[in-house]
Amino acid sequence: MPIKMIPEIGHFALIVAVLMAVIQTVMPLAGAATRRPLWMAYASPMAMGQFIFVLFAYLCLTASYMLDDFSVVNVANNSNSMLPWYYKFSAVWGNHEGSVLLWSLILAGWGFAVSRCSTGLPRDMVARVLGVMGMVSAGFLLFVLVTSNPFERSLPRVPADGADLNPLLQDFGLIIHPPMLYMGYVGFSVVFAFAIAALLGGRLDSAWTRWVRPWTNVAWAFLTVGIALGSWWAYYELGWGGWWFWDPVENASLLPWLTGTALIHSLAVTEKRGSFKSWTVLLAIFTFSLSLLGTFLVRSGVLTSVHSFANDPSRGLFILVLLGITVGLSLLVFALRAPRVSHVVGFGLVSRDSLLLVNNILLVIMTVTVLLGTLYPLLLDAFGLGKISVGPPYFNALFVPLTVLLCIFMGLGPVARWKRMAGGELRRRLWLAGVVALAIAALAPLVYGGEWNLWVSLGLVAALWVVLPLVRDMTDKVRKAASLWQGVRRQSLAYWGMVLGHLGMAVTIVGVTVVSNYSVEENVRMAPGDSADVAGYTFTMTGLESRRGANFLADTAIMKVEGDDGEHLFVMEPEKRLYLARGMPLTQVALRPGPLRDLYVAMGEELDGDAWAMRLQYKPMVRWLWLGAILMASGGLLAVVDRRYRRRSTVQSGSESSSSAQEATA
């Protein structure tokens, strides 16, 4: 009997969680405003309680999926008794209701983490941070309860079996992509809450930036991995071999990533130099606001996209109201409470400060460009100016040059000194790197592709110009030490995190450049016995088989692939599947990954006789795209481990006063 009540119990737990979130908002914020320690003390227990109850609700929904309880509408629409158990587990977030619940769970989880890790922080700061997070949480939990209840029953008419999870989502990539992405999106709520807390409490100093930086880096690292996973998933699952489509949903994740990247850099300036304070706070607000905006765009149905959820205007309105309250209030607080007299910290034209300023401005321009392209069709439509589309050609035309421009400054930044530096010194240290970068970039296309290609050269020079100055800087720094290891040890982990992050960016740029320019694609008609040559590989179809999977039937092509030298011999087996529950066909590509190239075979339509349309692709260096993202994320995480973020607050405030004294005299 209790098993049958699981959905109701989950629903009830969710209601309790909302109440706790409301208390978590009201008491600590009021307590901080009126300086009542007892009220402020509500923050941590409520954050914990809310997390436990949302987790419990989430587990109840998962249990309903695992137990095939098709009386729950959500389960009936998105699962099936034939579905393997791990897909039942991930099907929970393969739909709108479940994914908002996951979002709320992660939000509560971040709140709980803040309450655990904030022992060294001033009490009112903790109270305000958790209060703001409680407010966001309350909003999202209400959204779940009011418009998207995943526990809704379809009693008394219970379907015999479920409609199944969309086959496109029955995949390992989809098990991990959304949780990672949400960890990133929602992680920025912590940074956002810290920003609002700083505005409310009037405390925006170096210590504050040291509290915020680790949270920012972790959220950013998750978002980086999440975006990369999405791109990887699209690459192998959609069967076209594309890895980025500039689809509104992809853009929605890119927007907070861009401002988040700007935020990481602006926080560095604020911590080290005490300047750009208002700007840093504004970026923190923007980043989370863009996460919310992305949620709105994906779930409201205002934009047409390949992978948005089935939409409902009432949900859109709810999120818009939520967005309006959260962002509107925070920007109002910003306007009223931003640091009144910013004390002007001086720096020269050639300095790390000025270069990071340029970095921030470029990243913001990139953000605006992506946002503009994403919303422009809607804008024209709203003014009755017709329907247009803005797609990859537009974004590539603007984003690529902006990235190259950004790379120019990325090369200079790490080498430049804070405050000011003689232009001659910078030139002396970097001219060699510049010449080498230009030379390699100009020659590489000739060696690799046989003819000169402007785009390849441009991409390579950008990547090399990011890497080579870093190499120069590292050797300069390490050389001074007694041994290599000592030299490496002497630099902070934050420094090595930066190095890794920038290297990752360069690796991604190389991957993008090469795969965009040197991919080979052949669409051929093949029957057993036929073969085709693509980029030095011979593909021979040796046979066709039919097989049966857990919940699908498949036609499998057996492809024997031989390298140029005749030695590398392997078999690839692309499939055309028919998922039974939905009667939906799906292309399952066969991949032969490698560090320098992927081979990619997709099965198309059945042609006359035994023949099939086959898409054979050679994708050079496509793995570098995601390898770069992993490096970037590792860099972000490495910097978090840096010692200076783990000093206790008493020490922090001590060193804080001395360092700000230094800054004041500096």
Instruction: Pick the closer one to another protein by CB: 345 or 627.
Output: 345
| Nearest by Cα to 161 from 584, 577, 551 | 551
The 10 Å CB-count burial string (b at 16+, else e) for 135-165 is bbbbbbbbbbbebbbbbebeeeeeeeebebb
Burial bucket for residue 12 (CB in 10 Å: 0-12, 13-18, 19+): middle
Q: What is the CA radius of gyration of the chain?
A: 27
Q: Note whether 419 and 357 are within 8 A (CB).
A: no
The candidate with the shortest Cα–Cα distance to 57, out of 109, 107, 3, 6, is 6
Cβ neighbours, 10 Å, residue 69: 21
Q: Say whether 526 sits in a helix, a strand or coil.
A: strand
Residue 451 beta carbon to another protein: minimum distance, rounded to whole angstroms: 13
Choice between 11 and 615, CB closer to another protein? 615
- Burial (CB count within 10 angstroms: exposed 0-12, middle 13-18, buried 19+), residue 46: buried
Distant-in-sequence, close-in-space partners of 180: CB < 8 Å, separation ≥ 6? 222, 225, 226, 229
Residue with tokens 């905006």: 293
Q: Which is nearer to another protein, 72 or 303 (by Cβ)?
A: 303
Least Å distance, CB 242 to another protein, is 7
Closest approach, Cβ 623 to another protein, in A, equals 21
Given the complex with another protein, which of 249 and 494 has the nearer CB atom? 249
Question: Please, which residue, 120 or 549, has the CB nearer to another protein?
Answer: 549
CB 578 within 8 A of CB 565: no
Residue 417: exposure state from Cβ atoms within 10 A (0-12, 13-18, ≥19): middle
> Which residues pair with residue 570 across a beta bridge?
561
* Residue 355 CB, nearest approach to another protein (Å): 10
Tokens representing 183 are 């960890």
The least CB distance from residue 429 to another protein, in Å, is 21
| Closest distance of CB 435 from another protein, Å | 27
For the bound state, the minimum distance from the C-beta of residue 349 to another protein, rounded and expressed in Å, comes to 5
- At closest approach, how far in Å is the CB of 336 from another protein? 8
Considering the complex, state which of residue 194 and residue 395 has its C-beta at the smaller distance from another protein.
395
Nearer to another protein, 260 or 574 (CB): 574
| Nearer Cβ to another protein (11/576) | 576
> Cα angle at 91 between 149 and 22, to 5 degrees?
35
Q: Which of 122/445 has CB closer to another protein? A: 445
529-to-302, 403, 525, 540 alpha-carbon distances in Å:
49, 47, 12, 7
How many whole angstroms separate alpha carbon 471 and alpha carbon 547? 53
The H or E element that residue 525 is part of is: strand 520-526
- Single out the residue of 296, 307, 302, 59 nearest to residue 166, CA to CA: 307
What is the smallest separation between the CB atom of 320 and another protein, expressed in angstroms? 6
CB of 409 within 8 A of CB of 355?
Answer: yes
Q: Which positions ≥6 away from 466 have C-beta within 8 Å?
A: 407, 410, 411, 502, 503, 505, 506, 509
- Least separation, in Å, of the C-beta of 388 and another protein? 5
CB 338 → another protein: shortest distance, Å? 5
Q: Which is nearer to another protein, 88 or 615 (CB)?
A: 615
Between CA 19 and CA 552 the distance in angstroms is 44
Question: Which residue's CB is nearer to another protein, number 177 or number 615?
Answer: 615
Nearest distance from C-beta of residue 260 to another protein, angstroms: 17
Q: Which is nearer to another protein, 115 or 326 (CB)?
A: 326
